[in-house]
Amino acid sequence: MLKAKKVRLYPNKEQQQIISSQIGGARYVYNRALALRKFAYSKFGLKIGKFALINHITKLKNREKTSWLKEIDSQAIQQSIANMDKAYQHFFKGGGYPKFKSRHHSRQSYQYPQRVKIEGNKVFLPKVGWVKCKGLRKEFVGKIKTVTVSYEAYQYHASILVDIEDEPLKPCNNPNKTIGLDVGVSLVVADSDGNKVEPLDLTRELKKLKTKAQQLSRKKKGSNNRAKAKAKLAKINLKIANKRKDFLHKLSLQYAENQGIVVIEDLKIKNMTKATKGTVEKPSKNASANRGLNRVITQQSWGLFFELLEYKLSQRGGQLIKVDPKFTSQTCNECGHISKENRKSQDKFVCTACGHSANADINASKNILARGITRQ
């Protein structure tokens, strides 16, 4: 299934110039090809085909006067000729005669038939490079077909045509089953079936991130090297974000495919984080601030996890229930006794009233499940 998506582009000054010359080049090629075809037909009754036109334009690249065509993406040139050809086909089927494109009255655009890439909130356009954009969905799945770059009302846009393969939806195995999940400050999940999910290991990436951040801090402001170091840092950040997203996708899918109802704590109420300094792009030198930062990232991750989980559950007719997180970690799941003393350590839960002992997170997930069941 083909789907179109329009995103706003934010090219820098240099990229704006390149885009505008691509648009100009595509228009020139369109008009030149149209003129040649028209001339050949009216003078000699000759029909010049698409490939002959492409050859002709390619030759123009080697003429001094039109050597600037070398700067135009060659596939965009071919696409421009293909579009002119399409307009001609339309004419043969009874449509209007193809018009020449005007700098002022035609749509200012050009097209890539392939080679466009998307990563995070950036789009790679051949000849232009990576351009910042806005409007991409969280997940951009599918094969990119054509991309039309346009300029109108002082704004740049890319219309991306994607071929989305409809993935068959695997139904839920146990639609009547309910499970409770406890999520931790470090990316850990414990469930009321007694499973603990291995957290995502980002040690290597975070170490690299730290090194690159230090390297960046040593570069002189406004220097070329600083820009390079910044790009490297951004690349690692993107990699980490993608790895985390991938992890959360798989985890949420696993729960949505195996239980009909999932109970979680309402994160809006649960205060997992305290305000911290520093941002993801610019980690603070202060270790405790960085720990705080990790907590912020963790909370954001759980936010995404619950969103994905809710979506995947609802796709299968399931449901996500949010409950009050109050005392879930201090309540004994066996006798209901609530006490801080029940928590012997981060991991260990031993009830001071009945002696019940368990992994603290799994005990909490069972309390979460119980609250969800009473809510149903």
Our answer to whether residue 361 is catalytic in this structure is yes
Name which of 131 and 351 has its Cβ closer to Zn ion.
Answer: 351
The reply to whether 351 sits near Zn ion by the rule CB under 5 A is yes
For residues 15-26, b (16+ Cβ closer than 10 Å) or e, as one string? bbebbebbbebb
Size of the site for Zn ion (CB under 5 A): 8
Residue with the two structure tokens 């696409």: 79
The DSSP bridge partners found for residue 159 are 6, 148
Catalytic residue among 73, 85, 191, 265: 265
Cβ atoms within 10 A of the Cβ of 87, count?
Answer: 16
Name which of 108 and 330 has its Cβ closer to Zn ion.
Answer: 330
Q: Which residue from 67, 211, 354, 375 is in contact with Zn ion, where contact means CB under 5 A? A: 354
CA distance 78 to 286: 55
Cβ contact 334:317 at 8 Å: no
Q: Work out how close the CB of 181 gets to Zn ion at its nearest, in angstroms, rounded to a whole number.
A: 22
The reply to whether 348 sits near Zn ion by the rule CB under 5 A is no
Q: Work out how close the CB of 339 gets to Zn ion at its nearest, in angstroms, rounded to a whole number.
A: 9
Interface pattern 356-375 for Zn ion (x via CB under 5 A)? x-------------------
Catalytic residue among 73, 182, 191, 310: 182
Q: Which of residues 326-345 bind Zn ion (CB under 5 A)?
A: 332, 334-335, 337
Q: Work out how close the CB of 237 gets to Zn ion at its nearest, in angstroms, rounded to a whole number.
A: 45
Binding span for Zn ion by CB under 5 A among 172-180, 217-225, 317-325, 355-363: 355-363
Our answer to whether residue 201 is catalytic in this structure is no
Name which of 55 and 352 has its Cβ closer to Zn ion.
Answer: 352
CA distance 131 to 119: 10
Q: Work out how close the CB of 236 gets to Zn ion at its nearest, in angstroms, rounded to a whole number.
A: 46
Q: Work out how close the CB of 4 gets to Zn ion at its nearest, in angstroms, rounded to a whole number.
A: 59
Q: Which two tokens stand for residue 291?
A: 């720990």
Our answer to whether residue 182 is catalytic in this structure is yes
Q: Which two tokens stand for residue 248?
A: 């959360």
Name which of 5 and 356 has its Cβ closer to Zn ion.
Answer: 356
Name which of 119 and 334 has its Cβ closer to Zn ion.
Answer: 334
Catalytic residue among 73, 85, 191, 361: 361
For residues 174-211, b (16+ Cβ closer than 10 Å) or e, as one string? eeeebbbbbbbeebebbbbeeebbeebebeebeebbee
Q: Work out how close the CB of 328 gets to Zn ion at its nearest, in angstroms, rounded to a whole number.
A: 14
CA distance 156 to 12: 11
Name which of 306 and 349 has its Cβ closer to Zn ion.
Answer: 349
Give just the sign of the alpha carbon dihedral 201, 203, 205, 206. Answer: positive
The reply to whether 353 sits near Zn ion by the rule CB under 5 A is yes
Cβ atoms within 10 A of the Cβ of 154, count?
Answer: 5
**CB neighbour list of residue 123: distance below 8 Å, 6 or more residues apart:** 7, 9, 116, 117, 130, 131, 133, 147, 158, 160
Residues in touch with Zn ion (CB under 5 A):
332, 334-335, 337, 351, 353-354, 356
> Where in the sequence numbering do the catalytic residues fall?
182, 265, 361
